[in-house]
Amino acid sequence: MIDQTESLVLPQVSADITDVEVFRTNVVKLSEAARLVDLLTAYFPDCSFNFDLADCDKILRAKGKYIDYYKSSVMDLVTAAGYKIEILPE
C-alpha cells in the first residue's frame, strides 16, 4: 500500500516563471493538432500547448512552470499517438 503522505515533488520555481519548449512534429491537420492539444492538456493541466501548422516544422509549443521537467513525457505521448516529435534546436 502506498503511504498517502508520499507525493510527487516538483522542482521549486517562482510562480512568475514560465518556460517554453518548442518541438518539431509531423502533424499536418488542424483536427490532429486539436486532438493532441486536448490529450496533452489532460495529462499536463498546468501547461498550455499550441501548434503552428503554417510553420515548415509544424511547431508544437509547450508553455508552463514545469515544462522542462515534462518535456520527455510530452514527447512520449505524442509518439504514442502515432506522430513524430523532436525538440527544435535553438
Domains of the chain, by residue range, sit at: 19-87
- Specify the 3-state DSSP secondary structure of 35: helix
Q: Give ∠ CA 53-43-10 in degrees, rounded to 5.
A: 115
Give per-residue pLDDT as tens, 23-46: 999 999 999 999 999 999 999 999
Q: How many CB atoms sit inside 10 A of residue 47's CB?
A: 20
State the pLDDT confidence band at 13, using cuts at 50, 70 and 90. Answer: very low
Q: Topology of domain 19-87, per CATH?
A: Alpha-Beta Plaits (3.30.70)
